[in-house]
């Protein structure tokens, strides 16, 4: 009988050395997992790995436990160890990671739509940790960072998403990066991105607009003019484009074209004080057409009656018109306007 027992023990030891008897700690861990006692499962699996650090199954199971506990860095570490030791669990590991990525991404989108940006950020970051090369995840993170005003992080995420879509399959994300560059004063990068987009889609309206704005900001007036004209041919009723065109013509000293562009702005927005003031300023300082300057400063002061600067310029225009015409009544009106400006400046020093 004694010999039989010894034979059984020796048989198991031989099996452990050759094929590997099931580690009791791993068996216990599986039971704990089934029972939902995850902390005890972790203890058992760590015990198993302490005895055999090369136990692929223990690493795999520990990764699964960490996944249930939403401890994603730890999950990834254990899965990587399991895969380095054996390919037996690769399909299960990939499936687990894809599931958690999908759930985290979907929840991040939901939180973003609910304007719960902290929650969206946490889930989005974990999703990116699990699947670091998913373009949609980085594009979502970029939007979250923008909402949280974390501009450096937003730029990093936008550029990461951009690099993961070399075929421009997700054009809105490329456009957002371009607009982000421009809004942050990165005009060279905005222009380069606009040019890349236009290679893919020469009629992309936002890219043509960004090219016009960027060239303008970089002081390349003629190039800017070309793109403004292209955009305006498709969007002739856009007041902002017409306003910017007026500013560009003004900078190029094409004053008649500038006035015409500001007039088109006013057709769509008659109360655009800035357009009115630009016209008034050209008449006052460039054309020396004081009667028209008076007309437009009067329009502006009706819209913004507490603006001391407008009253000041109205007074100057009236005084110059009165002096030119030798009309005392105009000069008196000019003095009243200047006094009004001084009064307003006294209230708002």
Residue where a domain stops, chosen among 235, 260, 287: 235
Domain containing residue 45: 13-88
In a domain, 98, yes or no: no
Which pLDDT belongs to residue 111?
A: 98
Residue where a domain stops, chosen among 198, 220, 235: 235
Convert the pLDDT of each residue in 320-345 to its tens digit: 999 999 999 999 999 999 999 999 99
Average pLDDT over residues 265-292: 96
Q: Would the pLDDT of 282 be above 50?
A: yes
* Helix 135-147 × helix 90-113 angle, to 10°: 30
d(CA 26, CA 42): 10
Which pLDDT belongs to residue 346?
A: 84
Cα end-to-end distance, the chain, whole Å: 109
Average pLDDT over residues 94-107: 98
Q: How confident is the model at residue 348 (pLDDT cuts 50, 70, 90)?
A: low
The residue behind tokens 């050759």 is: 18
Which pLDDT belongs to residue 18?
A: 35
In a domain, 320, yes or no: no
Average pLDDT over residues 192-211: 96
In a domain, 103, yes or no: no
- What CATH number is given to the structural domain containing 210? 1.25.40.10
Look at residues 142, 199, 225, 218 and name the one whose alpha carbon lies nearest to residue 176: 142
In a domain, 265, yes or no: no
Q: Fill in the DSSP letter of residue 21.
A: P
In a domain, 200, yes or no: yes
In a domain, 331, yes or no: no
Q: Would the pLDDT of 16 be above 50?
A: no
Q: How many CB atoms lie within 10 A of CB 190?
A: 25
Which pLDDT belongs to residue 11?
A: 39
Which pLDDT belongs to residue 21?
A: 56
CB 295 within 8 A of CB 279: no
Average pLDDT over residues 101-118: 98
> Average pLDDT over the chain, rounded to whole?
92
Q: How confident is the model at residue 17 (pLDDT cuts 50, 70, 90)?
A: very low
Which H or E run includes 32?
A: helix 24-35
Average pLDDT over residues 9-28: 53
Q: Would the pLDDT of 4 be above 80?
A: no
d(CA 188, CA 198): 15
Cβ-Cβ contacts under 8 Å for 94 (sequence gap 6 or more): none
d(CA 12, CA 6): 10
Q: Would the pLDDT of 193 be above 50?
A: yes
Which of 229-238, 260-269, 310-319 has the weakest average pLDDT?
Answer: 229-238
Q: How confident is the model at residue 8 (pLDDT cuts 50, 70, 90)?
A: very low
In a domain, 19, yes or no: yes
In a domain, 105, yes or no: no
Greater confidence (35 vs 22) lies with 35
Q: Would the pLDDT of 10 be above 60?
A: no
Which pLDDT belongs to residue 242?
A: 94
Average pLDDT over residues 97-108: 98
Which pLDDT belongs to residue 24?
A: 85
Residue where a domain stops, chosen among 183, 214, 235: 235
Domain count across the chain: 2
Greater confidence (317 vs 20) lies with 317
Q: Would the pLDDT of 15 be above 50?
A: no
Q: Would the pLDDT of 39 be above 60?
A: yes
Which pLDDT belongs to residue 52?
A: 94
């Amino acid at each position: 009988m004694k010999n039989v027992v010894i034979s059984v023990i020796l048989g198991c030891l031989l099996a452990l050395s050759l094929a590997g008897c099931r580690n009791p700690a791993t068996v216990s861990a599986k039971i704990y997992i089934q029972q939902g006692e995850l902390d005890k499962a972790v203890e058992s699996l760590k015990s198993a790995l302490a005895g055999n650090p090369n136990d692929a199954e223990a690493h795999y199971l520990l990764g699964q436990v960490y996944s249930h506990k939403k401890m994603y860095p730890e999950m990834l570490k254990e899965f990587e160890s399991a895969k380095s030791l054996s390919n037996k669990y690769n399909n299960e590991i990939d499936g687990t990671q894809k599931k958690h990525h999908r759930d985290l991404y979907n929840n991040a989108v939901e939180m973003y739509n609910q304007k719960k940006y902290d929650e969206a950020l946490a889930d989005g970051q974990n999703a990116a940790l699990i699947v670091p090369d998913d373009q949609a995840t980085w594009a979502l993170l970029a939007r979250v960072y923008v909402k949280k005003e974390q501009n450096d992080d937003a730029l990093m995420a936008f550029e990461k998403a951009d690099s993961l879509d070399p075929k421009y399959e997700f054009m809105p994300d490329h456009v957002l990066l371009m607009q982000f560059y421009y809004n942050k004063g990165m005009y060279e990068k905005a222009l380069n991105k606009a040019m890349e987009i236009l290679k893919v889609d020469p009629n992309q309206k936002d890219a043509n607009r960004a090219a016009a704005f960027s060239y303008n900001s970089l002081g390349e007036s003629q190039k800017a003019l070309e793109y403004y004209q292209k955009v305006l041919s498709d969007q002739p009723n856009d007041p902002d484009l017409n306003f910017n065109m007026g500013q560009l013509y003004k900078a190029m000293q094409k004053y008649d074209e500038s006035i015409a562009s500001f007039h088109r702005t006013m057709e769509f927005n008659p109360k655009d004080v800035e357009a009115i003031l630009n016209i008034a300023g050209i008449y006052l300082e460039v054309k020396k057409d004081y009667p028209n300057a008076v007309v437009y400063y009067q329009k502006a002061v009706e819209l913004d009656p507490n603006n001391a600067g407008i009253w000041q310029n109205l007074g100057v225009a009236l005084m110059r018109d009165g002096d030119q015409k030798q009309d005392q009544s105009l000069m008196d009106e000019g003095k009243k306007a200047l006094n009004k400006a001084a009064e307003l400046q006294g209230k708002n020093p």
